[in-house]
Amino acid sequence: MRAEIEKSYRIACLHEIPHYPPCSKEHTHEYEITVNVHAWVIEETGMVMDYNKMDEVINKYANKNLNDIFSIPSVENFALAIADGIIAKLKHYSRVSVTICESENTKVTIVR
Ligand SMILES: [Zn+2]
């Protein structure tokens, strides 16, 4: 059986993207992050994924300066890193998508 699970988070991070006026000075974003995983349910656990493992991937970015982690701390690179972090904790998956809302009017979705 396959299933799709989804969990949402809200975390704050600092970042600064030089020469990109809305983000060119260090500031904080309250990122709304939605992780969606479509995969086979693991027979032994009856689950697609342990949410605690998903939490570990997200929580390591909470209250961090993204410039210390990424050479270009764009929301696209951030979403990609989260998707790859989730995939690294899965044995099998069909699709992992990560959507990050950086502001009320902007969001990015990465699908792997
Ligand atoms: Zn920004």
The Cβ of residue 46 has, within 10 Å, a number of other Cβ atoms equal to: 9
2-29+37-111 topology per CATH: Tetrahydropterin Synthase; Chain A (3.30.479)
| Tens of each residue's pLDDT in the chain, 112 residues | 999 999 999 999 999 998 888 889 999 999 999 999 999 999 999 999 999 999 999 999 999 999 999 999 999 999 999 999 999 999 889 999 999 999 989 999 999 9
Ion ligand 1, residues whose Cβ is below 5 A away: 23
pTM of the model: 0.94
Distance 18 CA to ligand 1 centre (A): 10
Q: What pLDDT score was predicted for residue 109? A: 98
Residue-range domain boundaries for the chain: 2-29+37-111
CA distances (Å), 100 to each of 1, 12, 17, 91, 112, in order? 28, 12, 17, 24, 15
* Residues 68-90 as b or e (16 or more Cβ within 10 Å = b): eeeeebbbebbbbbbbebbeeeb
Distance 104 CA to ligand 1 centre (A): 13
